[in-house]
Homo-oligomer: A and B are copies of this chain.
Amino acid sequence: MNTPTPTPGRPRAFDEQTVLDRATEVFWRHGYEGASLSTLTSAMGINRPSLYATFGSKEQLFQRVFERYRETQAAAARTALDQPTAYAAVEAFLRASADGLTADDHPAGCLSIQAGLACSPENARITEALAAGRAATEAALEERLTRAAREGDLPDGVDPRALARFVMALSEGHAVHAAAGATREQLHASVDVALRAVALRESTNIS
């Protein structure tokens, strides 16, 4: 479990995962640019040189934070997409998303959205990394739905890529809403509406 090899020199006074958790919360709440080193070190309970010795820079710290975040997100997405039907997979994805966006063990919303949709030019890489993370989730969704299309498991006339984009966009919109204070019930009610679009039978347009 823990490292049995006794490294020479003074041992660290903090646990890396713990301080990463604290940093995650700060970035989540204030965004990348809004999270100052003073706020970060204060929340992490370490001082600047420890942060730089351990993580390299503010940007590298954030990349570590986001990497960890992505892993848990990806695991949750994988679980949802393992459902046997497209409808069940989409519902599980959106339900898990709504729950995650309003969980009380972390700030409301989604780190990918909160941390930096727009940044100053020198931090453009942050924006790109976040977008890449979201794109990866959408790709997993698309892959699952493409398989569903092959299996005849999608409503007629529904393009799996469009459906993946729709589901992902809705989830991101819910993230925006959650960050602004929407409740879990409100998000699930929106999911109820969305699922009508994934139901099997072709429904009739208004005249």
User: Which residues of B are found within 8 Å of A173, using beta-carbon distances?
Assistant: 168-174, 176
A146 at the interface (CB under 8 A from B): no
Specify the chain B residue showing the minimal Cβ separation from A186: B165
Q: Is the CB of B176 within 8 A of A117?
A: yes
User: Given contacts A170-B166, A180-B131, is CB(A30)–CB(B87) below 8 Å?
Assistant: no
User: Given contacts A117-B179, A203-B200, A204-B200, is CB(A123)–CB(B34) below 8 Å?
Assistant: yes
Tell me, rounded to whole Å, the shortest Cβ–Cβ distance linking A77 to chain B.
Answer: 16
A88 at the interface (CB under 8 A from B): yes
* Bound-state Cα–Cα, A179 to B28, Å: 19
User: Which residues of B are found within 8 Å of A174, using beta-carbon distances?
Assistant: 169, 173
Of B35, B119, B179, which is within 8 A of A31 by CB? B119
Q: Is the CB of A155 within 8 A of B121?
A: no
Interface residue stretch chosen among A7-15, A68-76, A187-195: A187-195
Where the two chains meet, the residues of A that have a C-beta atom closer than 8 Å to any C-beta of B are 28-31, 33-36, 39, 85, 87-88, 109, 113-121, 123, 131, 134-135, 155, 158-159, 161-163, 165-166, 168-174, 176-177, 179-182, 186, 189-190, 192-206
List 5 A-B pairs, minimum CB-CB distance, nearest first: A169-B173, A173-B173, A31-B118, A34-B120, A162-B189
Extra contacts, 7 of them, besides A199-B205, A200-B205 (Cβ < 8 A), are A34-B120, A114-B118, A118-B179, A159-B193, A171-B173, A173-B173, A200-B203
